[in-house]
Amino acid sequence: MAKHLYIFIISILLMSMAACDLNKKEKAQQFSNDITVINDSLAYYVKDWVEEFKVSVNTKDFSQLQGIRQGLEAYLDRKTTYLQGMEDRGGSEQLRTAELDYLAFEKNTVSRYLSVFEQFDSTTTDDQIAKAYNTSMANVGGEEQKILTINKLQDEYAEKNDFPKPIRP
């Protein structure tokens, strides 16, 4: 009888340990998924701005850009606050820090360089638009490296926590 009780207790302990490991793995994967969703959504916000910018350049009506930029900034603020309040899981500190750095970089870019186009109107010349565009593009250098760093850290995080790496286009 004691032997069966001993086996039963060990079985429960092993199942509890496995459940804890699974729970940690699920939380770590959810953290990684959150990063992916944040960045994918950010890409859609930027795409919306770019699409409206194309229309604005062709029509010389830049009035719609401000609302899109403000929505983009609000999104960046919300996600920054969200990430700052997140609990680190499974060694996510470096990944979270890199993502926060990226979001701060994007917020600075949006605030400083996209807002410039909102001052344009029908009297703005193509040369003025081109100059502002070239200036903004010259100042977003480093974005690609930040994304590559996040991707690398996210892959390492997935390996460390034993879940599949994110699929990227």
Domain boundary assignment for the chain: 29-160
How many CB atoms sit inside 10 A of residue 142's CB? Answer: 11
For residues 117 and 128, is the Cβ–Cβ distance under 8 A?
no
Q: What is the mean pLDDT of residues 88-103?
A: 96
| pLDDT score for 168 | 85
pLDDT at 19 over 50: no
- pTM: predicted TM-score of the whole model, two decimal places: 0.84
| pLDDT score for 16 | 45
Q: What is the mean pLDDT of residues 128-143?
A: 90
With b for 16 or more beta-carbon neighbours within 10 A and e for fewer, the 6-44 pattern comes to eeeeeeeeeeeeeeeeeeeeeebbebbebbeebbeebee
Q: Among 98, 112, 77, which residue's Cα sits nearest to residue 31?
A: 98
Tokens (6 digits) for 123:
């009297």
pLDDT tier for residue 17 given thresholds of 50, 70 and 90:
very low
| pLDDT score for 151 | 97
pLDDT digits (tens, 9 = 90+) for 39-61: 999 999 999 999 999 999 999 99
Q: What is the mean pLDDT of residues 133-149?
A: 91
The pLDDT mean for the chain works out to 89
